[in-house]
Amino acid sequence: MKYMLVMRATDEAYAGMGEIDFEKMLETVGRFNEELIRAGVLLAAEGLADAAEGVVVDFAAEPPIVTDGPYGETKELFGGFYILNVASKEEAIEWAKRMPIAGPGFKTEIRRVSSIDEFPQDNEWIQKERVWREATGQL
């Protein structure tokens, strides 16, 4: 099963990261990533650029409203993610507990990634997606 580990933090927690030695942080995260690779569970991992570089597309109006970052009132920002292929939610939780960037203000949300096999296989759009996934080596 695939699980996404969504790394989130408060604005204050991200601000505190500026005080951390960048090389040390890379080493700490790199060691964790290496463990995931050695265990054969890592499918993807990405960090996100600063929220000030992002935009939000809000569908509350027509046409949708596009707002540049930094965002207004945020309690937590999504800072990156891991996608793991593990046997169970419990295993995903155990990996999340070992996240190298942790402390007050940091959280990891764990969500199962739905498989294409869970959707109606007779649907035209699911069939087209399956062909694309097979052609790109994702199935």
C-alpha distances in Å from residue 105, one per residue of 9, 12, 13, 32: 5, 7, 5, 20
Range of the domain at 13: 2-115
* pLDDT tens-digit series, residues 88-104: 999 999 999 999 988 88
pLDDT above 80: residue 70 = no
The CB density around residue 108, as the number of other CB atoms within 10 Å, is 21
pLDDT above 80: residue 83 = yes
Angle (CA) 52 55 61, round 5°: 140
96 assigned to some structural domain: yes
Q: What is the DSSP letter of 101?
A: S
- pTM equals 0.85
User: Which pLDDT score, from 0 to 100, does residue 76 have?
Assistant: 77
49 assigned to some structural domain: yes
Distance, CA of 20 to CA of 138 (rounded, Å): 37
Distance, CA of 44 to CA of 35 (rounded, Å): 13
CATH code of the domain in which 51 resides: 3.30.70.1060
User: Which pLDDT score, from 0 to 100, does residue 73 have?
Assistant: 62
